[in-house]
Amino acid sequence: MKVIILGAGQVGTSVAESLASEKNDITVVDFDGPRLAYLQERFDLRTVVGNAATPSTLRRAGAEDADMIIAVTQSDQSNLVACKLAHGVFNVPTRIARLRSEDFLQDESLLSTDHFAVDFALCPEQVITDYIRRLVEFPEALQVLSFARGRVSLVAVRAYEGGALVGKPIRALRDLLPIETDARIAAIFRRDQPVAPEGDTVVEVGDEVFLLAAAENIRLVLHQLRRMVHPVQRIMIAGGGNIGIRLARSLEDRYEIKLLESSHDRAELLANELDNTLVLLGDATDEQLLKQENISEMDLFLAVTNVDEDNIMACSLAKRLGCKRVVALINRRAYAEMIEGGPIDIGISPAQISISTLLAYVRHGDVAEVHSLRRGAAEALEVVAHGDRKTSKVVGRRVDQIDWPKGVTVAALVRNFDKPIVVGQTDDWTSITRYGEVVIAHHNTVIEADDHVIVFCTRKKLVQKVEALFQVGIHFF
């Protein structure tokens, strides 16, 4: 597939890295010549120096025969103009744009082919906000992901000493759960190395364990591996930029929020925009300010400024002063890998989180969802199975009859994806309805046509092999 990526920032670089490793024909466009030279040296791709929103630059990048344009520059206007040109002038089949302004996202008609011709809009700030909000809801988790329109949850936790499953084989998990509840350990990483999640694999203290279950059962399953943490009530956010304000808006109705912002003008704007958030003017690395605002009583500290070093310092200080849990937004991958596991509980890589939704749209075949795990080292896919036993390598076969590459685990599938199913009731007896039946995969589970299959790959290079397995033979129409 011939792909043109407009913008060589964090998101553009991450997308280029992911797609170049899958043997796509990649061209990256940016004003920054030295940055492009670095990418060209590091990855197998072409580069073009120039303005991504001009026909001449797009033509030099090969837009006339491109399959896809991914516009992820820092400018919404440039991204929109590039998509419009790609559609109207070069007839590029697929056009993706990064958009930060809510104005364009709230009116879908603006993105139609009659206007800016954007097939898929990516808002990294909103993706990161949703990701952090799930961490707030599961304070014991390292990562929380959802599949099949929220029907299935995948949660990464650190196994602790004294946990019910620690020191026992994985197969013991079924005995620890109620009869009607099923779950699967999709993967285990021990000292940063994957461990095959076989039935006789013993869970050890400190293991990073990926648990998968139906969304309504995930908390019950988590209790078997992780000491349940006191629910979050008080949160302090450092940084009132696009992510900071989105987080405050998302959380302020349910939690007690304090937001630190160092710019006087920005702090005033935030105070006017937010209803139930206490906005404070000050520096998150100011020890006296943190003490004054009772940082030791906070359940969670979120550092989401634009400066990695400030986020690291603020989180380290907050933890030293008694905050229960600290999370830092870290753009540089080397920093994220270095700081996590020390005083900082979780280091979040915005680019890796952002591109997960984009990759699901870009992938070949029927990949409905993609999530990058462990800062891009592993991936979890939701793939739709098509065909029949004659035309598919997976449909009509038991899980243990399929030639899965080493390092791939089938964790679950969702059947009858569009069928409403009642899974519970609210306090006022209103039915809770979700779509599809969650089937936790075991060796004798048979994959049927149209199943949404959730597959865990311990190495990103395995993704192509999984996609190939799900491709339908030439005789299927």
Residue 476's pLDDT is 43
pLDDT digits (tens, 9 = 90+) for 27-84: 999 999 999 999 999 888 999 999 999 999 999 999 999 999 999 999 999 999 999 9
pLDDT digits (tens, 9 = 90+) for 253-305: 999 999 999 999 999 999 999 999 999 999 999 999 999 999 999 999 999 99
> pLDDT at residue 475 above 80?
no
Nearest to 282 by CA among 268, 295, 264, 294: 264
Looking at every residue in the chain, the average pLDDT score rounds to: 88
Mean per-residue pLDDT, 342-346:
83
Nearest to 457 by CA among 16, 22, 167, 13: 22
Nearest to 318 by CA among 230, 227, 206, 235: 235
* Model confidence band, residue 420 (pLDDT cutoffs 50, 70, 90): confident
CB 127 within 8 Å of CB 353: yes
- What phi and psi values does residue 14 have, to the nearest 5 degrees? -65, -40
Mean per-residue pLDDT, 181-198:
88
DSSP3 helix / strand / coil % (the chain, rounded to 5): 35, 30, 40
Q: Which residues contact 304 (CB under 8 A, 6 or more apart)?
A: 132, 237, 238, 239, 241, 243, 244, 247, 311, 329
Give 321: exposed, middle or buried? Use CB within 10 Å, 0-12, 13-18, 19+.
Answer: middle
* Model confidence band, residue 350 (pLDDT cutoffs 50, 70, 90): confident
- Higher pLDDT: 463 or 377? It is 463
Nearest to 226 by CA among 280, 284, 155, 320: 155
Q: Which residues contact 134 (CB under 8 A, 6 or more apart)?
A: 141, 144, 145, 146
Distance between CA atoms of 7 and 243, rounded to whole angstroms?
20
- What phi and psi values does residue 139 have, to the nearest 5 degrees? -65, -15
* Pair of tokens at residue 96: 């993706």
Nearest to 214 by CA among 431, 443, 434, 455: 434
Residue 428's pLDDT is 60
* Model confidence band, residue 430 (pLDDT cutoffs 50, 70, 90): low
Helix (H/G/I), strand (E/B), else coil: 205: coil
Nearest to 196 by CA among 382, 404, 445, 413: 404
CB 411 within 8 Å of CB 455: yes
- Higher pLDDT: 303 or 427? It is 303
Residue 160's pLDDT is 83
Residue 307's pLDDT is 93
Three-state secondary structure readout of 357-371: HHHHHHCCCCEEEEE
Mean per-residue pLDDT, 236-264:
95
pTM: 0.83
Residue 102's pLDDT is 78
pLDDT digits (tens, 9 = 90+) for 152-171: 999 998 888 887 888 999 98
CB 294 within 8 Å of CB 315: no
* Model confidence band, residue 477 (pLDDT cutoffs 50, 70, 90): very low
* Model confidence band, residue 344 (pLDDT cutoffs 50, 70, 90): confident
Cβ neighbours, 10 Å, residue 214: 23
CB 209 within 8 Å of CB 156: yes
In our burial notation (b when 16+ CB lie closer than 10 A, e otherwise), range 349-359 reads bbbbbbbbbbb
Helix (H/G/I), strand (E/B), else coil: 219: helix
Distance between CA atoms of 51 and 36, rounded to whole angstroms?
13
Mean per-residue pLDDT, 79-97:
95
Q: How far is CA 178 from CA 119, 173, 415, 453, in A?
A: 44, 10, 22, 24
* Pair of tokens at residue 260: 């630190």
* Model confidence band, residue 426 (pLDDT cutoffs 50, 70, 90): low
